């Protein structure tokens, strides 16, 4: 008869084996479930196959176009691995791969039984497991964009997380847009997560225009509101929610103040800890994050460089005597360190010269600005001011209407209590090639003086 000690040892061993089995099971991604394809039958229907290491593509479009697409997926796979880490191994040791169906005539693919009944009502593209389906697009750029977008979904969700374990939807769709937004050079090399330089570069997308129109009609989305975009919003609109998701992912992933923290989120895309991690890494700077985001969206345009778009935060104190600050031409809003109470005024005087667009045809500007070109209704090069309020939650959006034209000299009166920020007016996409700074003197306004 087995002793109690021996029995306990046996139970412990069995339990250890069970735990090990569970752990080993979790080390694998779900088995490859891509649909079997009979290439000979498809060829008779005008559907041809093209393949690379990471993508098997079946398409009824021009073969000269189709054969260029699978190698792009290989480049994307390498970038996804660099961002998220390698996918879990396949239980049978198969390499990670995706099958795609690119359809000029969807009815042909339906007739061949290549579209599952569960996804036959998709608009442009749809992923399912290790496969995705997409309609052909008139724009060569958008054709590539959609292919990269759907491939990203297949990679990010390869572990098949439950609905509860998935990340927030803005992130899931935004990251697919990040890797879809690309630049292709003449050698076929892709650059991902670009800030487009023009509409023509990303023909067929229009994400920047979507946000401009939304802000113009008063439909600004704070960071919190973007995070709250759910399945209903994405199902009702195939445009605006995707634009907001892309914008927030690009902002967090490229802004010098937030990009390192954004990388921490990638490790929690399937473990149910995404939302809690977001609050943990960004919560301490929530107010600054919202202000940086607001001005990013307000200034958003083609070619915007985030390295020159962030606010320079510093709490203000009441101005007891004269103070001098330097306002750089390359920066966005820069704190003067001066806090004004509601209704309080100070006098501002600026001097010096800055060079705008130093890399090509340089323009020299003084604090009054150059009146032959305007941005936001104000001459470029002009010194402008803005009060960052003490209570941001009480404000309407966007903030552009709250900026004040200062110029070479003027009086700033606080319409609300807060810290005075200054910047040199310029096109948001052009600050990176500026040089120099203005020297700005701040003095308490004499009571009774003209305002």
User: What average pLDDT does the structure give for the chain?
Assistant: 90
pLDDT of 324 over the 80 cut: yes
Mean pLDDT over 152-166 rounds to 95
pLDDT at 401: 59
Reference 262, options 271, 252, 270; nearest CA is: 252
Per residue in 207-230, pLDDT tens?
999 999 999 888 899 999 999 999
Averaged over 84-105, what is the pLDDT?
A: 96
Distance CA 14, CA 172 (A): 40
Average pLDDT rounded to a whole number, residues 256-273? 96
Per-position DSSP letters for 16-49, written without gaps between them: HHHHHHHHHHTTSPPPP-PPP--HHHHHHTT-EE
pLDDT tier for residue 21 given thresholds of 50, 70 and 90: very low
**Does position 188 have pLDDT exceeding 90, yes or no?**
yes
386 within 8 A of 413, measured Cβ to Cβ:
no
Q: Are 429 and 301 in contact (CB under 8 A)?
A: yes
At residue 178's C-alpha, the angle toward residues 176 and 184, to 5°, is: 110
Let me know how many helices (H) and strands (E) the chain has, helices first: 14, 19
Least confident of 62-66, 360-364, 437-441: 360-364
Mean pLDDT of the region 311-318: 94
User: pLDDT grade, residue 451 (50/70/90)?
Assistant: very low
- Count the neighbouring beta carbons within 10 Å of the beta carbon of residue 50: 18
Determine the CATH number of domain 311-444. Answer: 2.60.120.430
Query: Does pLDDT of 14 surpass 70?
Result: no
What percent of the chain shows pLDDT beyond 90? 77
- What are the pLDDT digits (tens) for 402-441? 889 999 999 999 988 999 999 999 999 999 899 999 999 9
Q: Which residue has the higher pLDDT, 53 or 359?
A: 53
* pLDDT confidence tier of residue 398, bands split at 50, 70 and 90: low
Distance of alpha carbon 200 from alpha carbon 198, whole angstroms: 5
pLDDT at 33: 83
Q: What is the pLDDT of residue 184?
A: 97
**416 vs 175, higher pLDDT:** 175
| pLDDT score at 237 | 79
Instruction: Place 360 in a pLDDT band, splitting at 50, 70 and 90.
Output: confident
Minimum mean pLDDT range among 123-127, 151-155, 232-236:
232-236
Contact predicate 385/421, CB 8 Å: yes
The pLDDT, as a whole number, for residue 399 is: 61
Does the structure show a pLDDT above 90 at 169? yes
Q: Mind listing the pLDDT tens digit for each residue in 113-125? A: 999 988 878 888 9
Q: What is the pLDDT of residue 117?
A: 87
| The pLDDT of residue 35 | 76
Between CA 115 and CA 122 the distance in angstroms is 11
pLDDT of residue 396: 56
Eight-state DSSP code of residue 317: B
């Amino acid at each position: 008869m087995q002793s109690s000690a021996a029995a306990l040892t046996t139970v412990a061993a069995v339990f250890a084996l069970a735990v090990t089995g569970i752990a080993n099971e979790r080390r694998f991604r779900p088995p490859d479930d891509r649909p079997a394809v009979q290439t000979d039958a498809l060829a008779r229907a005008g559907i041809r196959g093209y393949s690379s290491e990471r993508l098997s593509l079946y398409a009824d479009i021009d073969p000269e176009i189709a054969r260029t697409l699978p190698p792009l997926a290989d480049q994307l796979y390498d970038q996804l691995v660099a961002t998220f880490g390698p996918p879990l191994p396949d239980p049978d040791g198969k390499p990670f791969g995706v099958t795609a169906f690119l359809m000029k005539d969807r009815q042909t693919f339906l007739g061949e039984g290549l579209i599952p009944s569960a996804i036959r009502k998709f608009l442009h593209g749809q992923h399912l497991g290790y496969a995705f389906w997409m309609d052909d697009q008139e724009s060569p750029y958008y054709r590539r964009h959609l292919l990269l977008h759907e491939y990203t979904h297949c990679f990010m969700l390869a572990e098949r997380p439950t609905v509860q374990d998935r990340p927030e939807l803005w992130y899931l769709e935004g990251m697919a847009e990040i890797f879809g937004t690309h630049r292709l050079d003449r050698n076929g090399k892709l650059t991902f997560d670009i800030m487009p330089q023009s509409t023509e570069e990303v023909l067929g997308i229009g994400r920047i225009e979507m946000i401009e129109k939304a802000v113009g009609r008063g439909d600004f989305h704070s960071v919190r509101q973007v995070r709250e975009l759910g399945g209903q919003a994405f199902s009702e609109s195939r445009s605006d929610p995707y634009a907001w998701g892309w914008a927030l992912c690009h902002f967090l992933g490229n802004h010098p103040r937030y990009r390192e923290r954004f990388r921490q989120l990638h490790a929690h895309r399937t473990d149910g800890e995404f939302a809690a991690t977001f609050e943990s890494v960004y919560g301490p700077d929530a107010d600054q994050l919202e202000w940086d985001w607001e001005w990013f969206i307000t200034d958003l345009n083609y070619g915007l460089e985030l390295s020159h778009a962030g606010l320079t935060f510093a709490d203000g104190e009441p101005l007891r005597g004269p103070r001098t600050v330097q306002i750089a031409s390359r920066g966005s809003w820069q704190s003067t360190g001066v806090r004004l109470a509601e209704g309080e005024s100070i006098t501002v005087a600026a001097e010096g010269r800055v060079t705008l667009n130093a890399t090509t045809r340089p323009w020299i500007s003084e604090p009054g600005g150059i009146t032959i070109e305007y941005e936001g209704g104000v001459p470029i090069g002009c010194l402008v001011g803005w009060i960052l309020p003490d209570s941001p939650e009480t404000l309407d959006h966007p903030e552009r209407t709250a900026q004040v034209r200062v110029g070479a000299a003027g009086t700033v009166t606080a319409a609300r209590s807060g810290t005075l920020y200054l910047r040199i007016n310029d096109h948001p996409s052009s600050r990176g090639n500026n040089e120099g700074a203005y020297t700005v003197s701040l003095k308490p306004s004499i009571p009774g003086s003209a305002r």
